[in-house]
Amino acid sequence: MSGRAAASNLQQRVLSGIVLVAVALALTLAGGVWYRLLAAAIAGAVLYEWLAMSAPAGARAHRAVVAVLLGLVLAMLLAGLPASTLLVALAVAVVASAAHAAYAGAGFWPVAGLAYAGLLGISLAALRGGDAAGLYATLFLFAVVWATDIFAYFVGRALGGPKLAPSISPGKTWSGALGGTAAAILAGTAVASGLGSPLGWVALVALTLALSAVSQIGDLFESSIKRRFGVKDSSQLIPGHGGVMDRVDGLAAAAVALFSVGALLAGPDAPAAAFFAR
């Protein structure tokens, strides 16, 4: 790629990123059904791209079954049902899709996509919930993931150095990973402290460090899926970024991780209460 083309691509990437951040923040602040629409749209787009990459050409019927099953779970999510109910519904949907996959000989990947997309949507919606704690937890999550993404990209480009996982994602470097993690710790602890988290500094640093690491593992996981199926981008839905999966790979892993910790500490229907006062 020439210097001019690279600059144009970076400009397109930045502009698209600004629009995405603005939309995400607006819907997060609005909360309620507006945020649940965002969570459902992300989950639906992720499944669409996953199936486009992974489903066998002759598995159209199974893809339709998987899409309908996720649609039912997302309809329940949009209706505002609690996460505990949604998790049971997703488990039933995954079992049903696995049974149909075995019957149709459609393979494992579409079922995995249903589980991945469904858990992502539920995690995002449950973390936000309907109270101040949910808003703060979601803003904290965004701060950690976005700081990781932005600084990993620019620090890696500026410093270069040894590759992080050359067989999976040749462009990622250790300098970028460490730079992204350092930025995430600063951004995450600043946001959480500013929003009144009762967690101490040691717990906040440990939490942000873990979320940043999980976010980068999620990025590598998505890269491995694309490499497995021989595609560069999950789709071309977002100018400069590729597909929705390309944009939310780190967010997906971090959201599921934060939801899981919160669910263990405060229950699946109010996970944000583990990190912020309600």
State whether 125 and 136 are in the same domain.
no
The conformation of residue 171, written as its DSSP 8-state character, comes to: E
State whether 120 and 46 are in the same domain.
yes
- What's the start-to-end Cα distance of the chain, in Å? 50
For position 2, what pLDDT does the model report?
53
State whether 139 and 262 are in the same domain.
yes
For position 156, what pLDDT does the model report?
94
User: Which domain-ending residue is among 101, 129, 157?
Assistant: 129
User: Which domain-ending residue is among 103, 129, 155?
Assistant: 129
Q: Which residues are paired to 242 by β-bridges?
A: 238
Could you tell me if residue 16 is inside a domain?
Answer: no
State whether 91 and 141 are in the same domain.
no
Could you tell me if residue 37 is inside a domain?
Answer: yes
Q: Are 255 and 127 a contacting pair, CB within 8 Å? A: yes
Beta strands in the chain (DSSP E): 163-165, 169-173
Which domain range does residue 99 map to?
Answer: 31-129
For position 9, what pLDDT does the model report?
65
Could you tell me if residue 15 is inside a domain?
Answer: no
| Closest by Cα among 211, 233, 219, 209 to 137 | 211
Could you tell me if residue 24 is inside a domain?
Answer: no
State whether 110 and 151 are in the same domain.
no
State whether 97 and 156 are in the same domain.
no
Could you tell me if residue 9 is inside a domain?
Answer: no
State whether 40 and 100 are in the same domain.
yes
| Closest by Cα among 98, 116, 134 to 244 | 116
Q: Which residue pairs from 164-168 have beta carbons closer than 8 angstroms and sit at least 24 positions apart in sequence?
A: 164/220, 165/220, 165/223, 168/220, 168/223, 168/224, 168/227
State whether 123 and 152 are in the same domain.
no
State whether 93 and 69 are in the same domain.
yes
- Whether the model clears a pTM of 0.85, i.e. scores above it, the answer is yes
* pLDDT tens for the chain, residues 1 to 278: 455 655 566 677 778 788 899 999 999 999 999 999 999 999 999 999 999 888 666 678 999 999 999 999 999 999 999 999 999 999 999 999 999 999 988 888 999 999 999 999 999 999 999 999 999 999 999 999 999 999 999 999 999 999 999 999 888 999 999 999 999 999 999 999 999 999 999 999 999 999 999 999 999 999 999 888 888 777 777 766 678 998 899 999 999 999 999 999 999 999 999 999 87
- Number of folded domains in the chain? 2
State whether 102 and 144 are in the same domain.
no
User: Which domain-ending residue is among 74, 107, 129?
Assistant: 129
Q: Are 74 and 68 a contacting pair, CB within 8 Å? A: no
For position 237, what pLDDT does the model report?
76
State whether 144 and 253 are in the same domain.
yes
State whether 150 and 266 are in the same domain.
yes
As a whole number of angstroms, the distance between CA 26 and CA 238 comes to 19
Burial of 207 (C-beta count, 10 Å sphere; 0-12/13-18/19+): buried
